[in-house]
Each structure stands twice: as C-alpha cells, then as structure tokens.
Homo-oligomer: A and B are copies of this chain.
Amino acid sequence: MSEVPQAIGWGEDGRCVHLLDQTLLPEHERKLEIRDADGMAEAITSLRVRGAPAIGIAGAMGMVLGMERLIEADPDADRATVLEEVSRLWTLLHDTRPTGRNLAWALDRVAHAVRTADEATAEALAGRARAEADAILQEDRQLCDRIGDAGLEVFAGGEPRVLTHCNAGALATGGIGTALAPIYKAHARGQRVQVLACETRPVLQGARLTAWELSRAGVPVTAITDSMAGDAMRRGRVDLVIVGADAVAANGDVVNKIGTYGLAVLANHHGIPFFVAMPYTTVDRSTSSGEEVPIELRSEGELRQLGGREILAADAAAWNPAFDVTPHRSVTAFITDQGVIRPPYGPRLAKLTEGHGPETGRFRGVGGAS
C-alpha cells in the first residue's frame, strides 16, 4: 500500500484521535487511539507525536477530547464549569512541551473560540472547540498542499535527486509536510524523484522517520550519515537540497535542525540549489536576523548514550545545540504556501506575512519541537 502516512486525525466514530506512535517507527507501525486529554498529554510528552505543526494539532484535539469527556460525565455542566475545565486542559496539555510556541498557540486558539462563543450549553461549546481544532488541522493540510504545489516549480523535468535533512514531512504536520510536500506532489504526478535522507544525529529523525514515510509512500529513498552529504554532492549525486525551517527571521535567516547550515555551505560550494520550504507562519517578523534567536542546548545524554550503552568517556564533554542558523544569502529560494520566494527576502517575506500580526506566527517551534 503506497500512500503518504498520516500522523494524526480523528477516528472513524469521531470519539477518539488516531495517532501514529512515532517512538516505535520504523520497527512498528502502531496507531494509537487517544480517548481523553490525559492520553494526549502522555503522547505529546513521550514524543509519540512530534513536529511543531503536528504537536499544535494534537494539543487542540486533546482539548476537544477533554471537553467531550467532561460532558459525558456531566451532560448538564454549565458554562462556568466548561470554561474551568478548558483552563485546566490548557495547562495540562501545554505543560507537556512548555517551550513549544506552536502548542500554546493552538491551545489558545481553541480556548479563545470557546470563551468567545455565544452558545451556553456544554455540548454547543464543545462543538465550537471541535470546529476550531478541525480548522487548525484543515488549514495545516492546505498549507502543506500549497507548499507542495509551489515546489513543483523548482523541479526541472527529468528525475530530480533531492537531499533533505531531519523530518519536515507528513509525520511533522497534519498534511504532507513542508520539505517533503513538493516531493509527494511530484511523485503523485508521475515524476520520478529520488531522495537522499541525512540520518540527522543525534535523534535520527531522517533515518527513522523521513526514510520511513517516503518509502511507505513509494518514493525511492536512500539514507546516509550526515557526514556523507559532502561526498554525495562532490560525486554529482544531488540535484537540489530542500529542508524545512523551525523559524525564519525577517531578513530570511533560517533556524532549523542542527546540520542545516553545513548542508547549505556544501550546497553553495557545489553550485547546488538550496531551498527552504515553509508556511508563512514560520516567519518571525519580530526577529530581524537569525543572530537574535537563542538556540536551545539539548541534553548531553543524546550524545553520550546509544542503544543503552555509553559511547562517550565520562571525562569528555559534549555539546548539543538543537538548531543552527543558515544566513539568508545561502538560501536559493523559499518554497511557501504563497509561491516560491527569491531574493530580496526582506520585503518579500514581509509581504508573505501581511495581514498577520507577529503574534500570530503559527507553529514556530524553536525550542522543544523536534
């Protein structure tokens, strides 16, 4: 069965959320049935769902489940009781990944929809919550689709060979991903696209997730260690690079998974186009350049242990920045839901986000959302 896997969605009866347990991939493909907010909180905390957009959607859906379970227990709950429960659910779900801005944003959006609703019955309020969570999911799917369509422009005819990093695919979003969206679109129209997936140490999202979802969808994919990217480029095995972004500053500097910057330098050196795919919501207008972004340092343990064994001497230190900054000059173009954007980036990224306040920046996950 060749199809793009779906990270998250409503169950058939609408009473539960289906969640692909990403901690078990690629060994086991297990769909969890999440029935309440506690279950969703556990799933987010345990990284069963990850990727900034997908976490936001999961949080919103978790709040809906929580409200519906309240109503089952107390069908006559009044408005005040419902709003009190919404506050409790917000905290419960938010604290699962407290630094993920996208999660807070999605929870705020659902809570706001409930609080500002005219309806008085608990059932009607839950309906508003569900509608808002659905809207978040549908909007995310549409953004992914539009990025995919826009990205077709950068694939010349023939059989492009794309190198990517980390996982900016279906597993990280509600739809077909960001960096992987153009690949899925090209594949769907019958174009042969081959992908080189950097395994992406330390957490190996490229090997474990990107290679899995692409091969599941029937797209030929080959995993390499991150250190092999330069050699692959030198040998002429890469036509273009597409990566996602955790945040893009107003000047076009890109904050993304550690290793992205090195790939950009290597691509530039070899004359290989370097693309960044993202929805408009990734642009952080309040940040003028990438230098302003504080980079999360993650646990040394990710470099010290592997498969339960110590791989680093106790006396040796480890340095584990989660993200790096790629200067806008290294980016050939941005592939966005509103088309392909080429330099000068400042004014064009500003136009991309026009009509959206800086505080509406959706799904920006620098810090926590891997």
Contact = CB atoms under 8 A, between A and B. Distances in A.
Contacts of A201: 199, 201, 225-227
A221 B313 CA distance: 10
Contacts of A211: 312-313, 316
Given A221-B317, A222-B317, A324 B231 contact: yes
A307 interface: yes
Nearest to A25: B313
B204 A306 contact: yes
Interface string A16-44: 00000000001100000000000000000
Nearest to A316: B211
B207 A312 contact: yes
B222 A316 contact: yes
Identical subunits present: 2
> DSSP class of A's interface residues: helix, strand, loop or mixed?
mixed
B307 A307 contact: yes
Interface string A182-216: 00000000000000111111101001100110111
Given A215-B315, A315-B215, A258 B227 contact: yes
Contacts of A214: 316
B223 A200 contact: no
Interface string A304-329: 00111111111111111100110000
A294 to B, nearest CB: 13
A312 B310 CA distance: 22
B258 A318 contact: no
B317 A228 contact: no
A303 interface: yes
Given A258-B231, A269-B269, A224 B318 contact: yes
B230 A318 contact: no
B223 A316 contact: yes
B303 A265 contact: no
A26 B258 CA distance: 26
Nearest to A262: B230
Contact of A306 (B215, B307, B315): B307
A215 B10 CA distance: 52
A155 interface: no
A221 B325 CA distance: 24
Contacts of A279: none
Contacts of A273: none
A264 B200 CA distance: 20
Interface string A216-259: 10001111111111111010000000000000000000000011
Contacts of A317: 220-223
A266 interface: yes
A64 to B, nearest CB: 32
A319 B222 contact: yes
A227 B27 contact: no
A199 B303 contact: yes
Given A211-B313, A215-B315, A202 B225 contact: yes
Given A201-B225, A215-B316, A222-B316, A231 B307 contact: no
Given A204-B311, A222-B318, A227-B259, 6 more contacts: A208-B312, A223-B303, A223-B318, A224-B318, A226-B227, A230-B259
